[in-house]
Structure formats: structure tokens, C-alpha cells
């Protein structure tokens, strides 16, 4: 597709359930980012990749959060044993080159609700 | 580490009036600065960016922003707002080899 695609669009999970969120970046984009956006807040950085290498995961809130991009294209954000505080919109973005000097293209996000 | 402050959570202006949204950043070197807009139900879209050179940058939809190093600011402006400009605006700061950090956003309301 022409843009960044995220699936599912909405996810409802029971507390304690594991979830997996998928991001398909724009083809050929080197950098991929995950952000968490709580209601009424700005996007909070979680982690980013250059190709398959995870260069920074300092924003992951706990060891329940795990992200991978094994072939340097599609990425998955996994949250284990979900908690209510994990409820948020999870945004994926990609850029053509290196981080700071490139425009980020954002997906529409996955809205996660933990009951 | 870099950080971004958007002091105004909400701003209300009348249609046709001028607009200025404030952004202050903290960063040790010359940063890369961005403004993104998020409309209801839509993804974040880049309005403009500053890397170097002319401190007044032009963006899409008639927006501009001015980088002022002495004030650590990168305020967004528009001479005359339209009802369609109602949205959430995010200032962001980045580095060549580092992540991009977003502010908490300013929600713009337009009065008819």
C-alpha cells in the first residue's frame, strides 16, 4: 500500500491477556517507530528500529512490552499480561532514512482497550 | 535528552484571525524541529520542519514557524485560520541519530 498500515484498528483485551499489534511500514523505509498515545496526550516514544536492528527501546514501559522487526520490514509490538494502564492508541511510523532528518509517516494506530 | 514543552493545552481563535502556537524545546545542540497536526480520526501529518538555514520555515496549509535559538522556541503561526484548521497540533524535536520526541499537544478550537 501507499501508507503505513496498522492492524488491528481496534483491540479489546481482558486484563492479563497477551496482545500483538502489527505495523506494515511504507516499502523501503529504513526506520520504524512505535509510540503510545494516551487519551489527550502527545505520542510517547516507545522504541525504534533501523532495518532489523532495534536501536532504542528506552521508552518501553516495562518488560511486558516487546517489539521486533525480524526482516527489516513488518514490525510487531507485543504486550504480555495486559493491564488497564496499557489502554491507549499505539502508533507506528516509518521514515525513509535515518531518524532525525526525515519526515515520519504515521499509521492510523491501534486503539487498545484493556478491560 | 531532548524535551518539548507546549504551554497551551487549548487555544480558541475566531475564524479568519491569526494564530500562534507556542513550542519550547530543550536540547544541547541544534535540534531538528517539527510541527505535526492530528485531525479527528486521522493520523499525524507533518506540517513543516526545521533542520538548518533560514530560521523561518514555510509549511503546508499556509503555516509557518520560526526557530529562535536564543529563546529555545519554535512557534507555529498562521495569518488567517480556517474552520478546517481545528485539530491537535504537536511540536517535536529530534536528532540526526536519535528518536523524535513529541510535546503533549495544543488543541485548536475555531469559533465561527
Query: Do the Cβ atoms of A106 and A6 come closer than 8 Å?
Result: no
Give the pLDDT confidence score for residue A100 in this predicted structure.
61
Q: Which domains are delineated in chain B? A: 3-111 (2.60.40.10)
> Cell match 514501559: residue?
A61
Give the pLDDT confidence score for residue B108 in this predicted structure.
97
Segments in chain B below pLDDT 50: none
Give the pLDDT confidence score for residue B29 in this predicted structure.
76
Give the pLDDT confidence score for residue B31 in this predicted structure.
84
Which residue on chain B is closest to A4 by alpha carbon? B43
Q: Residue A1: pLDDT above 60?
A: no
Q: Residue A99: pLDDT above 80?
A: no
Give the pLDDT confidence score for residue A101 in this predicted structure.
63
Give the pLDDT confidence score for residue B14 in this predicted structure.
97
Measured between beta carbons, the chain B residues lying within 8 angstroms of A39 are none
Q: Which domains are delineated in chain A? A: 5-108 (2.60.40.10)
**Partner-chain residue, chosen from A41, A42, A48, that has the shortest CB–CB distance to B99:** A48
Does the CA dihedral A22-A85-B39-A32 come out positive or negative? Answer: negative
Mutate to test the interface with A, among B29, B48, B102, B104 (most CBs of A within 10 A): B102
DSSP output for chain B? --EEE---SEEEEETTS-EEE--EEE-SSPPEEEEEEE-TTS-EEEEEEE-SS-SEEE-GGG-EEEEEGGGTEEEEEESS--GGG-EEEEEEEE-TTS--EE---EEEEEE-
Distance from A100 to chain B by nearest Cα, in Å? 4
Question: Hey, are the CB atoms on B97 and A98 less than 8 Å from each other?
Answer: yes
Give the pLDDT confidence score for residue B51 in this predicted structure.
85
Give the pLDDT confidence score for residue B97 in this predicted structure.
63
Amino acid at each position: 500500500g501507499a501508507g503505513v498500515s496498522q492492524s488491528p484498528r481496534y483491540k479489546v483485551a481482558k486484563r492479563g491477556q497477551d496482545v500483538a499489534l502489527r505495523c506494515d511500514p511504507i516499502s523501503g523505509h529504513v526506520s520504524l517507530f512505535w509510540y503510545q498515545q494516551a487519551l489527550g496526550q502527545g505520542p510517547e516514544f516507545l522504541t525504534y528500529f533501523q532495518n532489523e536492528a532495534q536501536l532504542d527501546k528506552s521508552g518501553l514501559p516495562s518488560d511486558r512490552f516487546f517489539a521486533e522487526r525480524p526482516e527489516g520490514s513488518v514490525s510487531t509490538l507485543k504486550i504480555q499480561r495486559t493491564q488497564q494502564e496499557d489502554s491507549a492508541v499505539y502508533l507506528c511510523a516509518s521514515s525513509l532514512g535515518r531518524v532525525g532528518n526525515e519526515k515520519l509517516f504515521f499509521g492510523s494506530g491501534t486503539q487498545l482497550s484493556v478491560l | 535528552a531532548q524535551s518539548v514543552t507546549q504551554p497551551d493545552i487549548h487555544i480558541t481563535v475566531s475564524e479568519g484571525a491569526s494564530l500562534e502556537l507556542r513550542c519550547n524545546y530543550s536540547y544541547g545542540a541544534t535540534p531538528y524541529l517539527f510541527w505535526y497536526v492530528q485531525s479527528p480520526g486521522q493520523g499525524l501529518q507533518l506540517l513543516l520542519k526545521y533542520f538548518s538555514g533560514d530560521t523561518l520555515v514555510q509549511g503546508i496549509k499556509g503555516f509557518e514557524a520560526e526557530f529562535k535559538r536564543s529563546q529555545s522556541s519554535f512557534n507555529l503561526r498562521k495569518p488567517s485560520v480556517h474552520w478546517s484548521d481545528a485539530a491537535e497540533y504537536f511540536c517535536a524535536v529530534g536528532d540526526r541519530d536519535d528518536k523524535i520526541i513529541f510535546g503533549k499537544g495544543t488543541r485548536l478550537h475555531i469559533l465561527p
